[in-house]
Amino acid sequence: MTPRGKSRPSRRALVGAVAVAATVLSGCGVGSAVVGVHPAPIEATTAAPITVDAATRIVARVLDEVAGARAMKGAKGVAARKAVMNGAALAFAEAAAKVSPSTTGADEPLTVASEPEVLAMSKGVGWPRAILATTLDPKSNVQSLHVLTSAAAAQPFVLTASVPMLQGAALPGLPKITQGTEFVAPDDGEGLVLAPAAALAAYAKAIAFPKPTANAKVSTADGFATSLAASAAAQKKALGALANLTLSPTVVPEQTMVFRLVDGGVVVFGRMNRLDRITLTDKAKEVTIPPTYAKVIGKSKATKALEVVSIVPVVLVVPPQGKVTAIGAAEQLAAGKAQ
Amino acid sequence: MSTTVKRLVAVLLGVLGLVLGIGGLWFVAHLGGSGIATFRTTLSGSEAIVIPPSVLNRVAAPVTVSVQGSPGSAVWIGASRPSDATSAVGAAADRQVTGVDVSDWTLHVGTAGTGKAASFARADVWHAQETDTERVSLTLEQANAPETVVVAVDKGSLTDLTISFERKAWFVQSVVAALIGLFLLLAGILTWRLDLRSRGTSEGSRAAGSPVARARTEEGSE
């Protein structure tokens, strides 16, 4: 009797100890905490979609591909450019290829090959996505702004806009890169002095010649507008009574991209097509077309009129208050005709 | 303290000590001095492998994913935001790593989907990516967590997948656990032996104070 009576508490003690030990060692999540295991963090869906390093690598790769594509000729060059560019950048590059590489200036933005700096990325997990970056050409000291876009997960980024900044111009502060910045619809003027689309249209009218339409909310004191006005005035003077000159810029609305700035304003990447028309008066028999234009037009002389179309990518800053200002612009002769 | 309670404490200490000691030594043997926990599985086929944050981002320590392909294969590996990886993989055939098993240091991999094998390298969603012949590795530092890793192969098949978590504290914790286990085991044994000794002493005292003992003492005195 005695041995059996003593074995019961021993067995109970053993079973209890094992149960307690098992509970302590395996349960309640204490073990996970001790060894540093925690639930995976939740994905932030409102931040920039990729890291700054990855974005920088993408920009560098795309700009290299663009430089390579721009150096290619013929159908192969066309295909290569279409693979790495779209929008205003592609139109600009195709026009440059058509005119010939010699007509592209030394400060032409797409030929700049320097280490890019990412300025901003579109926020969120959806598509399309955009990267806003800048490069500095050490030779000309010209800073360029580049917009790269990706339409879908399976589609790599391509260059959509590339515009040299105007001398003395500055891009206002953008949100922290990792936070991402939001796309703004071109017709969304909430909190802005003008809607982006309206700002582009107003700027285009303000730089027309000889009858610009001034807008109190749009500044034309930038280097591009003043240079254009001075050049047009000089041409008009040179032509005298022999011909009339008109410059008619029009906006290509579907190639407008708008990014929000920190101060609530926006930076607008737009494209204009500018029609320059020289109409001969009765006093002129013919006009000799400059060689650069002659190559595009296919004629060396015009007897009635001369028309050339230039692609003009521009970058405007539309603030919450004050005036719309241009901070970047370029132009590329694209087509022309003579009568 | 009653004998039952003393015995219970002794057994509890002994069992805890054994479990901790053996477990600690087992982890020391597997983790090594660097505290690297390596989980492995063999693979076959060319479907992409998707490793989600629930596997990769559970510890604040570097995680290295290594993949072996068949001879001559081009193996690609990339890391991105989880939603981007899902978008990039899309309808392509893939297998998901669902977890790890510490008991045999293996990876749990789900069954393959029905889509086609695809190449994802051109998608601009990857925080980091590597391509190499037959074998490629990628280390995540957790700075961009949560992340999903996708593995794909071209011209061949995947044969082996290894995920290593490096946390030096694990080695130290394992050693400490083994030492605590040893201490608890010794404490349990000592407690048991002290109980036996005290029982022997008290039984001896009870025997000396019994009527029979007293009678024997009285007989002796006469």
ipTM for the complex shown = 0.77
| Neighboring chain A residues of B128 at a CB cutoff of 8 Å | 54
For chain A, what percent of residues have pLDDT higher than 70? 86
User: Scanning every residue of chain A, which has its alpha carbon at the shortest distance from the alpha carbon of B13?
Assistant: A17
Helix, strand, or coil (residue B217): helix
Residue B57 and residue B149 in contact, taking contact as beta carbons nearer than 8 Å: no
Confidence band of A321 (pLDDT split at 50, 70, 90): very high
| Distance between first and last Cα of chain B | 40
User: What local confidence, expressed as pLDDT, does residue A105 receive?
Assistant: 43
| Neighboring chain B residues of A54 at a CB cutoff of 8 Å | 124, 126-128
Report the alpha-carbon distance of residue B5 to residue A333 in Å, rounded.
98
- The model's pTM is 0.81
B142 inside 8 A of chain A by CB:
no
Q: How many CA atoms lie within 13 A of B158 on its CB side?
A: 26
Amino acid at A303: T
Confidence band of A30 (pLDDT split at 50, 70, 90): low
CB pairs under 8 A between A and B: 103
User: What local confidence, expressed as pLDDT, does residue B155 receive?
Assistant: 86
Q: How far is B156 from chain A (nearest CA, A)?
A: 22
Torsion of CA A75, A80, A85, A86, to 10 degrees: 40
Q: What are phi and psi of A249, to 5 degrees?
A: -80, 140
Confidence band of A32 (pLDDT split at 50, 70, 90): confident
Report the alpha-carbon distance of residue A246 to residue A228 in Å, rounded.
12
User: What local confidence, expressed as pLDDT, does residue A287 receive?
Assistant: 85
Q: Is the pLDDT of residue A52 over 60?
A: yes
**Identity of the residue in B12, B19, B87 whose CB atom sits nearest the CB atom of A153:** B87
Residue B43 and residue B49 in contact, taking contact as beta carbons nearer than 8 Å: yes
Helix, strand, or coil (residue B109): strand
Beta-bridge mates of residue B51? B149
Q: Most B CBs within 10 Å: which of A30, A32, A50, as the mutation test of the B interface? A: A50
Mean pLDDT of A277-284: 92
Q: Is the pLDDT of residue A23 over 60?
A: no
Beta-bridge mates of residue A131? A121, A148
The DSSP output letter for A204 is: H
Mean pLDDT of A302-324: 95
Mean pLDDT of A49-59: 93
**Identity of the residue in B4, B52, B125 whose CB atom sits nearest the CB atom of A50:** B125
Mean pLDDT of A216-235: 96
How many CB atoms sit inside 10 A of residue A87's CB?
22
How many CB atoms sit inside 10 A of residue B175's CB?
16
| Neighboring chain B residues of A17 at a CB cutoff of 8 Å | 8, 11-12, 14-16
Among A26-30, A204-208, A284-288, the minimum mean pLDDT is found in: A26-30
User: What local confidence, expressed as pLDDT, does residue A176 receive?
Assistant: 94
Amino acid at A228: L
User: What local confidence, expressed as pLDDT, does residue B203 receive?
Assistant: 60
Residue A273 and residue A250 in contact, taking contact as beta carbons nearer than 8 Å: yes
Mean pLDDT of A12-25: 48
Report the alpha-carbon distance of residue A339 to residue A299 in Å, rounded.
9
Among A2-6, A147-151, A306-310, the minimum mean pLDDT is found in: A2-6
Residue A54 and residue A148 in contact, taking contact as beta carbons nearer than 8 Å: no
Q: Most A CBs within 10 Å: which of B9, B13, B125, B185, as the mutation test of the A interface? A: B125
User: Scanning every residue of chain B, which has its alpha carbon at the shortest distance from the alpha carbon of A34?
Assistant: B173
Residue B158 and residue B69 in contact, taking contact as beta carbons nearer than 8 Å: yes
Mean pLDDT of A307-315: 96
Report the alpha-carbon distance of residue B109 to residue B103 in Å, rounded.
16
Over chain B (222 residues), the average pLDDT of each successive run of 10 is 80 91 93 94 91 94 96 94 89 87 93 69 90 95 93 92 94 93 92 77 57 49 44
Residue B150 and residue B88 in contact, taking contact as beta carbons nearer than 8 Å: yes
| Neighboring chain A residues of B177 at a CB cutoff of 8 Å | none
Of the candidates B202, B40, B66, B60, which has an alpha carbon nearest to the alpha carbon of residue B130?
B66
> At a CB cut-off of 8 Å and minimum separation 6, what does A41 contact?
B53, B57, B145, B146
The token pair that represents B171 in the structure block: 């080695």
Q: How far is A157 from chain B (nearest CA, A)?
A: 6
Mean pLDDT of A125-142: 91
**Identity of the residue in B59, B127, B146 whose CB atom sits nearest the CB atom of A43:** B146
